[in-house]
Amino acid sequence: MLNAGQPVELIVEYEAAAIEQAAAAMRQRNPKHIDDAAILAYKAGRYKTIKNNADLAAAHKDIEPLSDYSHLPMSFKRFRSLQGLNLLLARPEIKAVYWNDALHPVLAQSLPLIGQPAVVGAGEIGTGSTVAVIDNGIDFTNAAFGSCTAPGVPASCHVAVSLNFGTGTTNNSHGTNVSAVVLGVAPGSQIAMLNAFSGTTAYTADIINAMNWAIANKPAYNIVAINMSLGDGTRNTTLCTANNPFATPVGNANNAGISVAAAAGNDAYTNALGKPACTPGVVSVGAVYDSDLSTQGYPAGIIWGTLCTDVTTAADKITCFSDSASFLTMLAPGAMITAAGITDGGTSQASPHVAGAVAMLSAAFPLESLTQIQTRLTASGTMITDPRNGIVKPRLNLLEAARPANDAFANRNALAGASVSGTNLLATKETGEPNHAGNTGGHSVWWKLTPASAGQLSLNTQGSGFSTLLAVYTGTSVSTLTPIATSANGAVLLQTQPNQEYEIAIDGANGASGAITLNWNLNTTAAADMSATISGPTTAWVGSSSNYTVTVINAGPQSATNAKATITLPAGSSYVPGSAACTAATNTVTCIAGTLASGTSMSFPIQLAWNTSLAAATISATAASDQPDPTITNNTTALQVTVIVMNDNNDIPTLPQWGMIILSMLLGMIAIRTQRRKIVRSAH
């Protein structure tokens, strides 16, 4: 065309590998490893320098700048001569040029299918997240968006901005429907409508300009996803890295923490996707039915370049028009979808389901990275087989995706730092899982800890948003756990052994759920000075029983866990069951004190029956706990008891002897009174 004297408009990409390498190192210092505001500003400054240097060196009257993409190493220029184009291409700063291709729109009853109502019922609605919808505009006055009078007005309006990057359209029903699907999935989120269309066509340069705006304004609006329900209809049988103008914008968006969802296409391809869906880093989305809609036909002109019919339809059946390939990311409901009072069907309707899911998940799990959020989408999906090619892909299951990552015992998180946070919203109880702290619960999540050294482990859930149940176990599966410590008030203390993995469960009392804070500390020098005392009679008689008191004492400096007294009984005696804290086995009684704080004690009443005479019976008691004991000389104490048989040779009479003595005394008293009466009578 240039040779024929006709100008061409091309997208120019500049070489920015060094900039991206430096930014990648900077991202490693960011908690979520994304381009934050400072990194975005750094990259924009470096891009500007490279562009200025190249453009100045290749300045020519036949090169006209049209648009500059500030946050991308790209620009849009008009070339009026081959000489001008070759002059720019000769510069080492130029990586590639791309045609400004035209793309077209790729066309709610679906929410129950993806489990959205349960997620919203748990309070997760995507508040604070924004989805940039690159489409053909929006009717922001539609009631679906909060009855806005202008973008952002009133405060309840869910359309944050509405901008034009093309020349505009007269029919914005597609963008209105797509935006309403996003908001239907994540009703607390915001929409940034970026209209890249000029009539029925969106040009690549305008789409990239809209993507650039989303990247530049990521910090201001917390943009977590870009939705592109559009495509060029090309047939790409592999991921398209070569000659793809969307590759760099998608990569930069991902680096900024923005997921890019794109419609797979409606060409009925069974082994290919169009652009931008084929771009590496894009979440490409195919369509399934959300219910039985009877026969559905798609004549040419409604689905671009396609003619197919689904004689039968059902929930989770892949639509005949949906493009498919081995590198397709996932599926979502796409036929037929009613949103904002508009009913449409296509992968255009499937893609915003995923973009809305990203908004909801990003709000629910703000500390998770883009990769973690996208893994939630794919790893939790319901697997669907495409009968046309046998390819199996996950269909969006928002309920499963929204469950805590450590919901399952197999996915328990490792403890780190001094405190970890999480949630048990939408968590489940697994088959074979024990009742934590004796409570049925039902929303448990899991952590694990493998200490390198022995020590006293303190765990508590102070700061959590609900009444928690806390339990610690050992074991390798959820159905073979051995309880080590449990608490219905959210705090436990236990002694750990080196290189032993401990499994930690947090559940909600009476089914409660909410935000979790788990605080922990391992004191590897913890110690407890344990001692015991015994008090009671030192003389006993065969056939009688005696009461004793055994006291366990902790002099500190730390609390003692699993404190107990082990009482050894002398031969010829037996334990009379009493305290529920004490159990007997042969001649040993064990009394459990549990956790004893420093400077406290616990006493246990012990009753012994004496069966034989013993000249020197010894009752001993040993106090112990899980903690190392710095002074072991006072751990054990003993009490000597003499056990005698009562007979004529004893100083103390037996019961029959007492009877005889009392009888003799009574007879003596009667005799004295009789004698007195006789004396009185004789006196008269």
Confidence of residue 64 (pLDDT cuts 50, 70, 90): very high
Q: What is the pLDDT of residue 3?
A: 67
Q: What is the pLDDT of residue 106?
A: 64
Q: What is the pLDDT of residue 546?
A: 94
Query: Which residues, 6 or more positions from 137, have their beta carbon under 8 angstroms from its beta carbon?
Result: 162, 164, 168, 169, 172, 175, 176, 193, 195, 197
The model's pTM is: 0.82
User: What average pLDDT does this structure show over 515-528?
Assistant: 96
User: What average pLDDT does this structure show over 83-103?
Assistant: 94
Tokens in use for 183? 């908001």
Q: Is the pLDDT of residue 672 over 70?
A: no
Q: What is the pLDDT of residue 163?
A: 97
Confidence of residue 647 (pLDDT cuts 50, 70, 90): low
Query: Which residues, 6 or more positions from 410, have their beta carbon under 8 angstroms from its beta carbon?
Result: none
3-class DSSP assignment, residue 642: strand
Integer CA distances (angstroms), 363 to 72, 128, 164, 356, 472, in order: 27, 7, 27, 11, 30
Specify the DSSP class assigned to residue 15.
-
Integer CA distances (angstroms), 205 to 74, 232, 378, 496, 638, in order: 10, 13, 31, 62, 92
Q: 65, 45, 57: which is closest to 91 by C-alpha? A: 57
Average model confidence (pLDDT) across the chain: 91
Report d(CA 292, CA 304) in Å as an integer: 24
Query: Which residues, 6 or more positions from 544, have their beta carbon under 8 angstroms from its beta carbon?
Result: 609, 610
Report d(CA 77, CA 81) in Å as an integer: 12
User: What's the half-sphere exposure (Cβ side, CA atoms, 13 Å) at 118?
Assistant: 15
Neighbouring CB atoms inside 10 A of 134's CB total 31
Tokens in use for 262? 């794109």
Tokens in use for 666? 């009574």
Amino acid residing at 289 = Y
Q: What is the pLDDT of residue 526?
A: 95
Report d(CA 599, CA 611) in Å as an integer: 38
Confidence of residue 256 (pLDDT cuts 50, 70, 90): very high
Tokens 């000029």, located at residue: 198
Report d(CA 164, CA 633) in Å as an integer: 85
Tokens 């009968």, located at residue: 387
Q: 399, 334, 357: which is closest to 177 by C-alpha? A: 334
Name the more confident of 655 and 420. Answer: 420
Q: What is the pLDDT of residue 653?
A: 46
Fold (topology level) of 429-523: Jelly Rolls (2.60.120)
The strand ranges marked E within 515-558 are 515-523, 528-535, 539-541, 545-557
Q: What is the pLDDT of residue 296?
A: 86
pLDDT tens-digit series, residues 275-313: 999 999 999 999 999 988 888 888 665 444 446 899 999
- 283-307 in b/e form (b: 16+ CB < 10 A) is bbbbbbbbbebeebebeeeebbebe
CATH architecture of 528-644: Sandwich (2.60)
Confidence of residue 675 (pLDDT cuts 50, 70, 90): low
Query: Which residues, 6 or more positions from 571, have their beta carbon under 8 angstroms from its beta carbon?
Result: 587, 612, 614
Answer CATH for 102-401 from 3.30.565.10, 3.40.50.200, 3.30.70.270, 1.10.1280.10? 3.40.50.200
Specify the DSSP class assigned to residue 34.
S
Q: 195, 269, 198, 261: which is closest to 235 by C-alpha? A: 269
pLDDT tens-digit series, residues 357-415: 999 999 999 989 999 999 999 999 999 999 999 999 999 999 999 999 999 999 999 99
Where residue 390 falls (left for φ over 0; alpha for ψ -120 to 50; beta otherwise) is: left
Q: What is the pLDDT of residue 108?
A: 41
Confidence of residue 665 (pLDDT cuts 50, 70, 90): low
Strand (E) or helix (H) holding 26:
helix 17-27
Q: What is the pLDDT of residue 616?
A: 84
Tokens in use for 443? 């929303």
Q: Is the pLDDT of residue 569 over 70?
A: yes
pLDDT tens-digit series, residues 123-164: 999 999 999 999 999 999 999 999 899 999 999 999 999 999
Domains in the chain: boundaries? 8-99, 102-401, 429-523, 528-644, 654-684
Report d(CA 335, CA 347) in Å as an integer: 8
User: What average pLDDT does this structure show over 250-255?
Assistant: 98
Q: Is the pLDDT of residue 174 over 90?
A: yes
Q: What is the pLDDT of residue 303?
A: 46
